[in-house]
Amino acid sequence: MYRDVCIVSACEITREGLGNILKSEGFGLIGSYGAISELEELEFESGFFIVLDGVETDDQPQAVREIKGRFDSAPVVVLTERFDFNAMLECFHSGAQGYIVRSMKAQPLTTSLRLAAMGERVLPPDLVDVFEHQAFTPIVRTSEQSDEDVNRAKLSPRELDVLCCLMAGYSNKVIARKLTVCEATIKVHVKAILRKLNVHNRTQAAIWASSRGLSDVEMTA
């Protein structure tokens, strides 16, 4: 288990408060910094984990990648103001060990951080709500039926590209960067995809595509 912790947060009050809570729970606070850039010149011994707080939802995955690029062996736990399913997926894809919504009380928070320090992946309770509101119906389709479903949806080549990115859990900002278009254009594509697939949100669209055999790396030329 990792006993030492480093906190990265732009909010000084958060750094002070969280640091005191963690120290009272037996963790060793080896650093408290206002920005990831402040970590660049630091040399820590192995055996610590990093708590990342106060980063905008769309920027969280990139922040995780930056930290892992500097401290590859250090687990990174993201503290977020609000739960975002796609941001969570991309954070874990980027190497995060945990994704925790800050609204939880101190004891559950420290318990979650302790689990992350032990090498467990920590998911937010909000994830249960996402699945509770999904209508999951086991569907067995032949390859021909799946192809017919995809063709019947009449998605444009660009909409298929966006759908594949949704399957990968990318945010609109990341998709726009990958496809070299503006974010507003991606929002239009997502809205059209949801309408054509007759689904209510991005998660349902990704499930629809996965059940028809589409791959999150299947991009049009």
Q: Report pLDDT digits (tens) over 54-82.
A: 899 889 999 999 998 888 888 999 999 88
For the segment 80-105, what is each residue's pLDDT rounded down to a tens digit? 988 888 788 889 888 899 999 888 78
Mean pLDDT of 8-29: 91
Q: Which long-range contacts (CB under 8 A, 24 or more apart) does 203-207 make?
A: 203/85, 203/130, 203/134, 204/134, 205/163, 205/166, 206/163, 206/166, 206/167, 206/169, 207/134, 207/136
Helix axes of 60-70 and 85-93: crossing angle, nearest 10 degrees? 20
DSSP summary character for residue 91: H
How deeply is 192 buried, as exposed, middle or buried, from its count of CB atoms within 10 A (0-12, 13-18, 19+)? middle
The pLDDT value recorded for residue 139 is 46
Query: Is 143-211 the same fold as 4-127?
Result: no
Cα 97 to Cα 123: distance, rounded to the nearest angstrom: 9
- Global pTM? 0.59
For 165, residues 6+ apart whose C-beta sits below 8 A from its C-beta are: 174, 175, 178, 179, 216
**Domain 4-127, architecture per CATH:** 3-Layer(aba) Sandwich (3.40)
Which pLDDT score is estimated for 94?
87
Report how far residue 68's alpha carbon sits from residue 9's, in angstroms, rounded to the nearest whole number: 16
Indicate the pLDDT class of residue 45, thresholds 50, 70 and 90: low
Report pLDDT for 209: 83
Give domain limits for the chain.
4-127, 143-211
Q: Residues 170, 174, 176, CA angle at the centre, nearest 5°?
A: 115
In 3D space, the residue among 71, 209, 192, 69 whose CA is nearest the CA of residue 139 turns out to be 209
Percent of the chain with pLDDT over 70: 84
State the Cα–Cα distance between residues 73 and 162, nearest whole angstrom.
33
pLDDT of residue 78: 96
Comparing 76-80, 132-136, 154-158, 198-202, the range with the smallest average pLDDT is 132-136
pLDDT tens readout for residues 104-115: 788 888 888 888
Q: How high is the pLDDT of residue 151?
A: 85
Q: Please give the share of the chain, as a percent, with pLDDT higher than 90.
A: 35
CATH of domain 143-211: 1.10.10.10
From 202, 188, 59, 213, select the one nearest 130 (Cα to Cα).
202
pLDDT for 16 equals 93
- Residue 169 scores a pLDDT above 70: yes
Instruction: Name the more confident of 115 and 129.
Output: 115
Q: Which of the given ranges, 4-13, 31-40, 148-157, 194-203, has the highest pLDDT on average? A: 4-13
Tell me the pLDDT band of 47, cut-offs 50, 70 and 90: confident
138 pLDDT band, cuts 50/70/90, is: very low
